[in-house]
Amino acid sequence: MAVVLTAALVTGVVLTRRRRISLTQKEERPRPSGYQASSGISLAPAAPDATAGEAVESAEVTEAPVEHPVAERTEVDGQPGVGDDASVPRDSVKRGFVEVDLPERASEVEEIEPTEGRLERLRGKLSKSRNAFGTSLLGLLGAGDLDEDSWQDVEDTLLIADLGAATTTEIVGTLRTKIAGSGVRTEADAQALLRSVLIDALHPSMDRTLKALPHAGKPAVLLVVGVNGVGKTTTTGKLARVLVADGRTVLLGAADTFRAAAADQLETWGKRVGAETVRGPEGGDPASVAFDAVKRGMDAGVDTVLIDTAGRLHTKVGLMDELGKVKRVIEKQAVVDEVLLVLDATTGQNGLTQARVFAEQVDITGIVLTKLDGTAKGGIVFQVQRELGVPVKLVGLGEGADHLAPFEPGAFVDALLG
């Protein structure tokens, strides 16, 4: 009796539990409305209005029956089958080689952003300089009558933004004279005045064209120099892209023989735009690599040879002499059209010291100011041109492959003033 009762009790408990379990509602997962990649990236169709027509066309293409070379098909119903279940008998004619059109060879060369209007497009990258510079200056000048303290603030703002003492004194002097003469009543007046004074201080008449086109049947040769880590290799690579985008053929010379990684880095940039890179053995003579690169460039008939040199501390006399040698050796067979000095805008005054020493060693024809995106001291542009009498030709505004812009005083000042 006890056994029967126990058995009935156990069966009852189990049935109750089962019922309870079966009563628990299965959690319904929301059904994805479209295709969901397993990595969690949600894929969405393109914006409807812009590509509506295309979307319809492609849908039609997808639904159209796929054409098979019917004559050569052996299966008839398209269903898989094995052994005796196969829809195609074993002894039927075997499927032969079917010619399939291969897709056109994918180009390894990347799309390059047009160079025109880059400074305008990248103006947001100058936001640090704009905040430290334009915003406060406009606030001060637009406030109406300026007392001595306000003028002191204007001066301080320019100095903090790295315009240097001489440029600052000049700009403040001009502003004072012009404001005394015409008066500034609104912020718009202040903006217009400041704009014209700053543009003038950037010497807009300086020749900023990059001498990078072939002449007398020989390629243009550009030498890229500067201290370590300023962005020489990156700039050389970005410059190659600018030229290729313009339809030019380019050859790169890796005259940085100190670091194999530097030559690898340059070669990678070259591959991305389909440009050949000439490099030498690690620790080899950079002048000889530069010579070989120019020779190869002439033989191959390219438009431009870009030579990236090793970063050298301007305080090391031997290395600076070596730079002079690189240039002289190239000149045995071709003219060096540009010597571009790359300066890191974030280093401020130190950049100027470097510039002076490099200028003593080789004739600098243009300055590339890199990393302007990472500093509030965009004013260095004013100073470096004044000190060297050499135009800033290009500015680096980021690590992106196309973050190199031609320097245009008007667009630059507009970006600073917001």
Ligand X SMILES: Nc1nc2c(ncn2[C@@H]2O[C@H](COP(=O)(O)OP(=O)(O)OP(=O)(O)O)[C@@H](O)[C@H]2O)c(=O)[nH]1
Q: Binding-site residues, please?
A: 226-233, 308-312, 370-373
Tell me which DSSP letter residue 217 carries. Answer: T
Q: Which of 278, 330, 381, 397 binds ligand X (CB under 6 A)?
A: 397
User: What's the per-residue H, E or C state across 256-285?
Assistant: CCCCHHHHHHHHHHHHHHCCEEEECCCCCC
Determine the Cα–Cα distance for residues 368 and 343; give it in Å rounded to an integer: 6
Q: Which is nearer to ligand X, 8 or 261 (CB)?
A: 261
Q: In the complex, what is the shortest distance from the CB of residue 344 to ligand X, in angstroms, rounded to a whole number?
A: 8
Binding segment for ligand X among 91-99, 206-214, 295-303, 368-376 (CB under 6 A)?
A: 368-376
Decide whether 220 or 230 has the Cβ nearer to ligand X.
Answer: 230
Nearer residue to ligand X within complex by CB, 123 or 232: 232
Per the CB < 8 A criterion, the answer to whether 280 and 196 are in contact is no
> Could you tell me the smallest distance in angstroms from the CB atom of residue 47 to ligand X?
31
Count the alpha carbons within 13 Å of 121 in the hemisphere toward its beta carbon.
Answer: 12
Cα→Cα distances 141→154, 156, 184, Å: 8, 13, 8
Instruction: Give kind and range of the element (H or E) at residue 79.
Output: none
Residue 144 Cβ, how far from ligand X at the closest point, in Å? 38
Backbone angles phi, psi at 192, to 5 degrees: -65, -45
Task: Report the nearest approach of ligand X to the CB of residue 258 (Å).
Answer: 8
Of the pair 225, 330, the CB lying nearest ligand X is at: 225
Is there binding between residue 373 and ligand X (CB under 6 A)? yes
Nearer to ligand X, 123 or 218 (CB): 123
Considering only residues 241, 327, 371, 377, which one is a binding residue for ligand X as defined by CB under 6 A? 371
Question: Between residues 126 and 190, which has the closer beta carbon with respect to ligand X?
Answer: 126
Give the shortest CB-264-to-ligand X separation in angstroms.
11
Interface residue with ligand X among 274, 374, 410, 418 (CB under 6 A) is 374
Contacts of residue 4, defined as CB under 8 A and 6 or more positions apart, other chains included, come to: none
**Which residue ranges are tagged as binding site for GTP?**
226-233, 308-312, 370-373
Nearer to ligand X, 137 or 242 (CB): 242
Both tokens of residue 356?
């002076």
Which of 270, 297, 311, 351 is close enough to bind ligand X by CB under 6 A? 311
Residues 172-231, interacting with ligand X (CB under 6 A): 226, 228-231
- The token pair at 410 is 């008007």
Shortest separation between residue 150's beta carbon and ligand X, angstroms: 34
Which helix (H) or strand (E) element contains residue 336? none
Q: Which amino acid is at 274?
A: G
Q: How far apart (Å, rounded) are the C-alpha atoms in residues 25 and 45?
A: 35
Cβ contact 198:190 at 8 Å: no
Shortest distance (Å) from residue 340 CB to ligand X: 12
Contact criterion met (CB below 8 Å) for 278 and 296: yes
Measured at the CA of 81, the angle between CA 80 and CA 85, to 5 degrees, comes to 155
Beta carbon nearer to ligand X, 231 or 297: 231
Q: At what angle are helices 165-182 and 380-388 packed, to 10 degrees?
A: 110
Number of residue whose CB is nearest ligand X: 311
Does position 134 interact with ligand X (CB under 6 A)? The reply is no
The binder of ligand X chosen from 396, 406, 413, 414 (CB under 6 A): 396
Is 314 near ligand X (CB under 6 A)? no
Strands of 220-225's sheet in order across: 276-279, 250-255, 304-309, 220-225, 338-344, 366-370, 392-396, 404-406
| Closer residue to ligand X, CB minimum distance, 242 or 334 | 242
b/e string for 127-160 if b means 16 or more Cβ within 10 A? eebbebbbebbbebbbeeebeeeebebbbebbee
The interface mask with ligand X, positions 138-177, x = CB under 6 A, is ----------------------------------------
Report d(CA 88, CA 78) in Å as an integer.
Answer: 10
CB of 269 to ligand X, least distance (A): 9
Query: Are β-strands 366-370 and 220-225 bridged in parallel, bridged antiparallel, or unpaired?
Result: unpaired
Smallest separation (angstroms) from ligand X to the CB of 385: 18
> For ligand X, what does the binding mask look like between residues 224 and 263, x meaning CB under 6 A?
--x-xxxxxxx---------------------x-----x-
Minimum distance from CB of 354 to ligand X (Å)?
12
- CA–CA separation, 356 and 386 (whole Å): 12
Helix axes 349-361, 380-388, angle to 10 degrees: 30
User: How many residues belong to the site for ligand X (CB under 6 A)?
Assistant: 20
The site for ligand X (CB under 6 A) is made up of: 226, 228-234, 256, 262, 311, 370-371, 373-374, 396-399, 403
